[in-house]
């Protein structure tokens, strides 16, 4: 679509809506065939599908770490894809000590809607080891 905002702007909007927990508005930004990929080695790893997939992924992650904090550093993009660079600070469920990881999350858009999202952690082994 010629008047569709660029992917970086769309992904920024999605993160703002998700941060506000406005899941109805988030769902409106999602393609009905949305697929989200989390690393399979994580406690909440796997493939999530459908317009409510982001809410489901967030619920799984915050279910593991209710006090998780996300800090967005940058969002950039091209014609179909956008990437967000963020820090995720969580408390180990084993030690209670906080630790931070950098993530890059890549989203692909079709007709102005998020259709694919891939979440890349710096160290999935550390995330899995610190989980309960």
7-130: CATH number: 3.10.450.50
Integer-rounded Cα Rg, in Å, for the chain is 15
Q: What percent of the chain has pLDDT over 90?
A: 80
Q: What percent of the chain has pLDDT over 70?
A: 98
Asked if residues 114 and 7 have their Cβ atoms less than 8 Å apart, the reply is no
pLDDT for res 108: 98
Tell me, yes or no, if the pTM score tops 0.75. Answer: yes
User: Does the pLDDT value for residue 2 go beyond 80?
Assistant: no
- Sketch the domain layout of the chain as residue ranges: 7-130
Asked if residues 119 and 8 have their Cβ atoms less than 8 Å apart, the reply is no
């Amino acid at each position: 679509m010629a008047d569709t905002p660029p992917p970086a702007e769309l992904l920024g909007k999605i993160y703002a809506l998700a941060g506000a927990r406005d899941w109805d508005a988030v769902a409106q930004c999602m393609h009905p065939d949305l697929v989200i990929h989390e690393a399979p080695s994580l406690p909440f790893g796997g493939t999530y599908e459908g317009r409510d997939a982001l809410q489901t992924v967030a619920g799984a992650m915050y279910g593991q770490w209710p006090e998780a904090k996300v800090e967005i550093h940058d969002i950039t993009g091209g014609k179909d894809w956008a990437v967000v660079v963020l820090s995720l600070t969580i408390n180990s469920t084993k030690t209670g000590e906080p630790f931070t990881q950098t993530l890059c999350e890549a989203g692909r858009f079709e007709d102005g809607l998020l259709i694919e999202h891939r979440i890349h952690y710096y160290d999935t082994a550390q995330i899995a080891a610190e989980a309960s």
